[in-house]
Amino acid sequence: MGKIAAWEPKFSVGHPVFDEQHQELFALCQQAADCVDNDSIESTAQFYTILHDLVDYTSRHFRAEEKVLREHNYPQLEEHRAEHVKYELRLTEFLLEANCGTIDKASLYHYLSEWWTHHILQSDMGYRDFLQNQAPSP
């Protein structure tokens, strides 16, 4: 993900709200990438703020996504939700470590990159066609 400079149309899951939320998550991940190699106090403080923002924003996004998928009876909802829970737990671990004075920027960024590739660009794409097929015909 560090090599991706900007949001690309191929990242779209075909749902305007989710795409907007994914763009915000993408921006937060990019902000984290900008802090990884900077060991200054300011960069560490900024990274800590980004981590808090990620925890907060991700939680709101997951609840919104799960609500829509539940309303449309998405068949893989439980598996999708399990990925969300696992991600939230890991982000919480990073946050707890940071609260104890240990901010491993490189590990967190690696985790975010893997998450972006696996969950958003693969798992979330699984519901793209499903939701589009649920839309009423004009």
User: 77-111, pLDDT tens digit by residue?
Assistant: 999 999 999 999 999 998 888 888 887 888 888 88
Residue 52 structure tokens: 């808090």
Q: How many domains does the chain have?
A: 1
pLDDT value of residue 31: 87
What pLDDT, on the 0 to 100 scale, is given for residue 4? 53
Which tokens go with 66? 């799960």
Contact (CB, 8 A) for 131 and 68 = yes
Domain hosting residue 62, numbered range: 16-133
Residue 8 lies in a domain: no
Measured CA to CA, the distance from residue 15 to residue 126 in angstroms comes to 12
Whole-prediction pTM: 0.85
50-62 in b/e form (b: 16+ CB < 10 A) is bbebbeeebeebb
Residue numbers in the chain where pLDDT is lower than 70: 1-5, 135-138
User: Residue 135 has what pLDDT?
Assistant: 56
CATH number of the CATH domain containing 98: 1.20.120.50
